[in-house]
Structure 1
Amino acid sequence: MKVLFMCTANSCRSILSEALFNHLAPPGFEAISSGSFPKGQVLPRSLSTLQAAGINTDGLYSKGNDAFEDSPPDVVITVCDKAAGEACPVYFGPALKAHWGLADPSEVKRDEASIEAAFQLTLSTIATRCQAFFALPFAQLSPT
C-alpha cells in the first residue's frame, strides 16, 4: 500500500510523516511525500529531529506532485494545519483521503527548548497516528 503525505512546502510535517511512517511500517506499506508548492529543500531541523530519533533520512527531499505521477498512491493524507491559515493541498484521484492537521513546528520562534519541544510533539503525534493507521481494517475500506 502506497501512502502519500501532502503539505504545502514539503519541508517539515510531510517529510517527518514520510520518514516516520516508513520507519514504523510493516512490510507492504510505503510512504512518499509531496508539496503543492515545494520549498525545494528539507528544513535542517526536520532532518536533525529524525536523525536524533534514529530514523533514516536518506533519500528525503522536497518534491512536488510529479514525484508520484507514475505510481499513484492508495491513500492520501494531508498534514497541513488549516487553523494556521494555509491552503491545504488537494489530491484529485482515486485514493482514500484523510487529514491529519498538524501544527507546523517550524513556525515556533521562541527559545531552543520550545522549538525542540514542538518538533518532538509533532513526531510523537505522527507516531501515534501511524500506529492507529496500521491497525485499520484495510480490507473493509474503499475510496468512495
Structure 2
Amino acid sequence: MKILFVCAGNHCSSILSEAITNFADDPRLQAASVASQDRCEVHPLSLQFLQQAGIPTGNLKSQSWDELTNFHPDVVMAVNQSVDENSYPHWLDNSIKLRWNLDDPSSKQGSALQIKVAFLACLNDILCRTHEILDLDLENLTPDALKHAFMELGAEV
C-alpha cells in the first residue's frame, strides 16, 4: 500500500510521517510526502529529531505535486488542517482521501524544551499510527474496508 502524506509546505509533519512510515521497513507499505502549496526547506528540527531517533534522513526533501506524478498512492493523508483537498491534482482522484490532525511541532512557540517535547510528541504519534496501520491486513482490504479501517484508527474524511 502506498501512502502520500500532504501538508502545506512539506517541511515538518508530512516529512516526519514519510520518514517514520518508510523506516518501518515493511514491504507492504511505502510512503512519500508532498507540499500542497509552496514547498519549503525541510525543517532542521525535523531532521535533527529523526536522526536522534535513528531514522535515516538522507533522502528526505520537500516535494511538489509535479515530482510525484509516478507515485500512485492508495491513500492520500493530509496531516493537518492547512491542507485544502480541493488543491489535489486529478491524478489522485482514485486515491482514498483522509486526514490526520497532527499537531505541527514546527509552529510551537516556547522554550527549547517545549519545542523538543512538541517534536517528540509528534514523532510518537506518527510512530503509534504507523504500527496500527501495520497491524491491518493490508493485502486483503478492499478500498472501502481500508478507508473504514483508517477511520477506526483515528483518520477523518
TM-score (norm 1): 0.89
> CA separation in 2, counterparts of 1:14 and 1:55?
15
Who is 1:128 aligned against? 128
Deviation at 1:140, TM superposition (A): 2.4
Name structure 1 gaps, 5 residues minimum: none
Instruction: Provide the aligned C-alpha RMSD in A.
Output: 1.7
Q: Distance in 2 between matches of 1:17 and 1:109?
A: 21
Provide the rounded CA distance (Å) in 2 between the counterparts of 1:89 and 1:142.
Answer: 19
1:100 is displaced (CA, Å) by 1.0
4+ residue segments displaced more than 3 Å = 87-92
- The within-5 A match list for 1:114-125 is 114-125=114-125
TM-score (norm 2): 0.82
Q: Is the 8 A contact 1:40 1:61 kept in 2?
A: no
Residue identity in the other structure for 2:66: D
**SS of the counterpart of 1:126?**
helix
Q: Secondary structure at the match of 1:114?
A: helix
User: 2:61 corresponds to which letter in structure 1?
Assistant: Y
Counterpart of 1:142 in structure 2 is: 143
Give the letter aligned to residue 55 of structure 2: I
1:111 Cα deviation from its structure 2 partner: 0.3
Q: Secondary structure at the match of 2:116?
A: helix
SS in structure 2 of the partner of residue 136 of structure 1:
coil
> In structure 2, how many angstroms separate the alpha carbons of the residues matched to 1:25 and 1:100?
21
- Quote how far apart the aligned CAs of 1:56 are: 0.3
- Alpha-carbon distance, 1:107 to partner: 1.0
Q: Which residue of 1 aligns with 2:154?
A: none
| Residues 93, 6 of structure 1: alpha-carbon distance in 2 compared, 3 angstrom cutoff | same
Decide whether aligned partners of structure 1 residues 87 and 3 sit closer, same or farther in structure 2, where only a CA change above 3 A counts.
closer
Distance 1:64 1:125, change over 3 A: same
Structure 2, unmatched stretches of 5+, are 148-157
Over 3 Å counting, the alpha-carbon distance change for 1:32 and 1:87 in structure 2 is: closer
